[in-house]
Structure 1
Amino acid sequence: MVRFIVRALIAALGLWLATRIVPGVAAPGGWTSLLIAAVLLGIVNAVVRPVVFVLTLPLTVLTLGLFLLVVNAAMLGLVALLLKGFVVRGLWAGVFGALVVGVVSWAGHLVVGDERERA
C-alpha cells in the first residue's frame, strides 16, 4: 500500500510539472485534482492500457514503438475525460504531457527504487 501511495505521489508530481511546462495541460482544481488524477492514471494504466496495447500492437511494431506515445497520450486524455478538475487540450498536449509524466515517474522509480528488488 505504501508503494502505491509513493508511486501516486510521484505521478502527481509529474502531472504538476506537466501543467507547468506543457501548454494545453492544466489542473484548475489544484493539488487535489492532481492527486486524484494520479490515482486515476494508475488505475487506467493498470486496466485499460494493456487492452489498448494489445489492440494497437501491429501499429506499435510498424512504428517501432513510437505509437506508444499516442497510447500514453490517450490514457492521459481518458483521465482528463473522467476527471473534471484536470484538462488535456489536444493530442500534442497529451503526448508531451505523457512524456513529462513518464520521465518524472522513471526518475522517481530510480530514486525510490522497488521493494521487489530489496527482497
Structure 2
Amino acid sequence: MNFALRILATAVATALAVWLIPGISLTADTTANKALTLVAVAAILGVVNAVVKPFTQAISACLIVLTLGLFLLVINALMLMLTSWLSGQLGLGFEVDGFVSALLGSIVISLVASVVASLLGAGKD
C-alpha cells in the first residue's frame, strides 16, 4: 500500500511539474491516457531513483560534499532526464526538453511528492 501511495504522490507531483514548467511536456489525447502515462512515468522515476541514483551519489560523493549538497540537485535533474529518455523508449508521451527544465522539474517533483505523500500517509506503517 505504501508503494502505491508513493507512486500516486509522484504522479500528482509530475502532473504539477508538467503544468508549471514550460520545458516538460505530456502528450496524450485523453484524460485517462494522461493519467496512465503519469502513473507509468512515476513508476519509471521510482525505479530510476532506486537503482541508478545510489550509484551516481556514490560516484559523486566528493562533489556532493564540496558543494554542500547542491550537486544533489544536478543528480535529481539527470535522473529526470533519464526518466524522460526511458519513457521515450517505451513510447510514453513524456518529454523533458533541457537541463534547466529538468532541474526545475526535479525540484517541483521532489517538493510536491513529499508533501502529497505525507498528506496521504505514505510514510506510516
Same fold at TM > 0.5: yes
CA distance in 1, matches of 2:116, 2:15: 14
The runs of 4+ residues in structure 1 deviating greater than 6 Å are: none
The aligned counterpart of 1:115 is: 124
TM-score by length of 1: 0.92
CA distance in 1, matches of 2:13, 2:20: 11
- Encode CA deviations 1:63-97: one digit per residue, 9 max, x unaligned: 11111111001111101000121100111100100
2:95 maps to amino acid: V
The aligned counterpart of 2:107 is: 99
Q: CA RMSD in A?
A: 1.0
Shift of residue 32 of structure 1?
1.9
TM-score by length of 2: 0.87
CA distance in 2, matches of 1:99, 1:105: 10
2:102 maps to amino acid: G
What percentage of residue pairs aligned between the two structures are identical? 37
Higher relative contact order (CA 8 A, sep 6+): 2
CA distance in 2, matches of 1:92, 1:67: 14
Q: What pairs with 1:1-119 in structure 2 (closer than 5 Å)?
A: 2-29=1-28, 30-84=34-88, 85-113=93-121, 114-116=123-125
Equivalent position SS for 2:27:
coil
Shift of residue 55 of structure 1?
0.6
Equivalent position SS for 1:65:
coil
CA distance in 2, matches of 1:95, 1:106: 17
1:80 maps to amino acid: S
Unmatched 5+ stretches in structure 2: 29-33
Shift of residue 5 of structure 1?
0.8
How many residues align structurally?
115
